[in-house]
Amino acid sequence: MKKLRIVPLVTTVAISAVVLFGGWFAYSQFAVQAPLKKLVTQYDGVKNVQFDITQKQVDLKLDLDPKTDLSGLVQHLTVDGKSLLGSRKLKLTVVDHSSKTLDEWWSKALFPVAEAMDNKKYTEIPATLEKLKEGSPNLTVNSAMDSDNIYVTLTDGKASKFIVLPRVPGQLGVWNNV
């Protein structure tokens, strides 16, 4: 029976681990994260972005200018970044630059918006938001929709609030970025 030598065995395992994990890190960093960061930051209105990339999901934490078109950014990512995202799900979190005024206004608008979504009457949402906006001359309200979400952007001077509402009926309970 041959005696195993510990030093060559440990060295081989260590080198293999470094090559495997280093290769995955390099791939993640240079083939996915760097091109995705370039794609996101070239979009007008994106101030900063942070990533968390897993095999199933890409989490983006975005810091946006108040007038950024969030639905346009999502479309830009899903169309132009399709090869980078692959089969991963895209999850967005927008840094909150809201104000007390915007938060209070959104809390009043939340029920009619949720009701329209629950009844799948999505075309009522922009009209409802515009009607509720009548008493707030400095408030700007934009809404857009794609196959997965409804995007609402509220701005009042330098304050902004970006809301992403999922169109999946089972997820209408509590929205994470209200």
If asked whether residues 66 and 139 sit together in one domain, one would say: no
104 inside domain: yes
3-state DSSP percent of the chain in helix, strand and coil, to 5: 45, 25, 30
Give the predicted TM-score (pTM) of the model.
Answer: 0.77
Domain end point (choices 42, 68, 94): 94
1 inside domain: no
Report the C-alpha gap between 31 and 9 in whole angstroms: 32
If asked whether residues 78 and 104 sit together in one domain, one would say: no
Cα dihedral 95, 99, 102, 103 in deg (nearest 10)? 80
Question: Nearest to residue 108, comparing CAs of 148, 71, 135?
Answer: 135
Q: What is the pLDDT of residues 42-87, one digit of tens each?
A: 999 999 999 888 889 989 999 999 989 999 999 999 999 888 888 8
177 inside domain: no
**Could you give the angle at which helices 100-118 and 124-133 cross, rounded to 10 degrees?**
150
Q: What is the pLDDT of residues 118-170, one digit of tens each?
A: 998 999 999 999 998 888 888 999 999 998 899 999 999 889 999 999 987 55
**The domain containing residue 123 runs over which residues?**
100-171
Into how many domains does the chain fold?
Answer: 2
